[in-house]
Amino acid sequence: MAKIAIFPGSFDPFTKGHLATVARSADLFDEVIVTVMTNTSKQALFTPAERVALITEATADLPNVSVQAHAGALTVDIARELHAGFIVRGLRNASDYTFENEIALANAKLAPEIVTVLLPTRAPEQGIASSIVKEVATFGGDVTDFVTPNVAAALRQKMGAANDKTQTD
């Protein structure tokens, strides 16, 4: 039986840290489905379709990785729908561990047949957070250390008007 994992998140934007987690997951599982979710507590910069396209391009060299958008559903329900036995989550620090462990415990109660795998982020990607990337991009900063080239270009395009305004104020 194939080992299928989902890697859920809002991915707004998709970072090099996310990519590292996907690549590590692709080594561990037969199939990895990056599931673009809606985070109701965040204001999205990119539409779900834009995020799917950006992630698909960034993961193009990983043949066992696919990308789908899923809105308005529990992660465990999506995992079941996709026949995934695993949910992958990346951990940058102790705060992430506390938060992700609480979610993993809730998911285990909701779907005991699905295993949550917490992957610690390696040193080069530890400080990368989508919210920080958006903040840097908002003020015209260089985000190339944090995101793939296609995401950096999309951020420049999205933030172009905002950057022009901040430079003339």
| Active-site residue identified among 16, 70, 130, 134 | 130
Measured between alpha carbons, how far is 98 from 100 in angstroms, rounded to an integer? 6
| Active-site residue identified among 66, 80, 92, 158 | 92
| Active-site residue identified among 42, 83, 122, 156 | 42
| Active-site residue identified among 18, 24, 51, 134 | 18
The strand pairing partners of 115, in sequence order, are 86
42 is annotated as an active-site residue: yes
| 68 contacts 35 by C-beta, under 8 angstroms | yes
158 is annotated as an active-site residue: no
Measured between alpha carbons, how far is 26 from 22 in angstroms, rounded to an integer? 6
Give me the helices (H) in the chain, please.
16-28, 48-58, 75-81, 94-110, 130-138, 149-168
Measured between alpha carbons, how far is 49 from 29 in angstroms, rounded to an integer? 25
156 is annotated as an active-site residue: no
3-state DSSP call for residue 114?
Answer: coil
130 is annotated as an active-site residue: yes
Q: Burial letters for 26-64: b for 16+ Cβ neighbours within 10 Å, e otherwise? A: beebebbbbbbbeeeeeeebbebebbbebbbebbeebeb
Active site amino acids:
18, 42, 92, 130
